[in-house]
Homo-oligomer: A and B are copies of this chain.
Amino acid sequence: MSDSVKDRPSRVNDKPSRAEKTRLTRRRIVAAAADLFLGEGYGATTLDQVAARAGVAVQTVYFHFGNKATLLKEALDVAAVGDDEPVALLDRPWLEEVTAEPDPARIIELWMNVGLEILGRVAPLLAVVRATMGTDPDLAAQWEANEAERRTAFRALAGMLADRAALRPGLTVDDAADLGFLISSAENYILSTGALGWSPERWRNTTATLLAQALLGETPS
């Protein structure tokens, strides 16, 4: 953190700014909450436990997040992008690389590399959400928001493939988006790496092959 002060010498002293301290505190609380949700389950986790693990007063947790559902949402957002910068997933540099790629099959590969990264971080928390949403309307809404974001992303993928005239004959962009969303769902990741015992890489490779078959009409090799 002292580095960042050197970067901005005008702040005069070498202490972290108030904004930086707030951000570090929030980050610590979110990380503690994520650990507890995964270890103890969402229902069993209390805000007191979160505060204790983060080393802050429980009032601080309430002040920053208000309730447990907000904490889970923050934890999911952090997991989705891998940091707590306020930059949405679809505004990140990886998408530029995908957009610049001419080869449709390679687009799917790059897409699935990113999908693997994201789901590797997000899936454990998503599994918590999914298994608890029946008893918590906030979590059900969270799950739906997450699914809606994923659908938007797959519409972008289908559009890129259509721009390259790569969709197999008869397949509309909308149908391609739906198919892509379904084939590479978070549910399938959870099922593959859980019940089936696949490595995350096997899930990625299998899913990329299924996507190429279904969207591009490639014959499996």
Which residues of A line the B interface, CB within 8 A?
41-43, 128, 130-135, 140, 144, 147, 151, 168, 178-179, 181-183, 185, 187-188, 190-192, 195-196, 198, 206, 209-210, 213-214, 217, 219-220
Contact = CB atoms under 8 A, between A and B. Distances in A.
Nearest to A135: B43
Contacts of A209: 214
A98 B87 CA distance: 52
Given A130-B130, A185-B191, A196 B213 contact: no
Nearest to A177: B196
A148 to B, nearest CB: 8
Contacts of A213: 210, 213-214, 220
A192 B185 CA distance: 11
A135 B41 contact: yes
B217 A196 contact: no
A139 to B, nearest CB: 9
A134 B191 contact: no
A36 to B, nearest CB: 14
Given A182-B191, A209-B214, A213-B214, 6 more contacts: A130-B134, A135-B135, A182-B188, A182-B206, A188-B188, A213-B220
Nearest to A143: B131
A147 B195 contact: yes
B131 A140 contact: yes
With most chain B CB atoms within 10 A of its CB, the pick from A144, A151, A178 is A178
A190 to B, nearest CB: 8
A144 to B, nearest CB: 8
Contacts of A192: 182
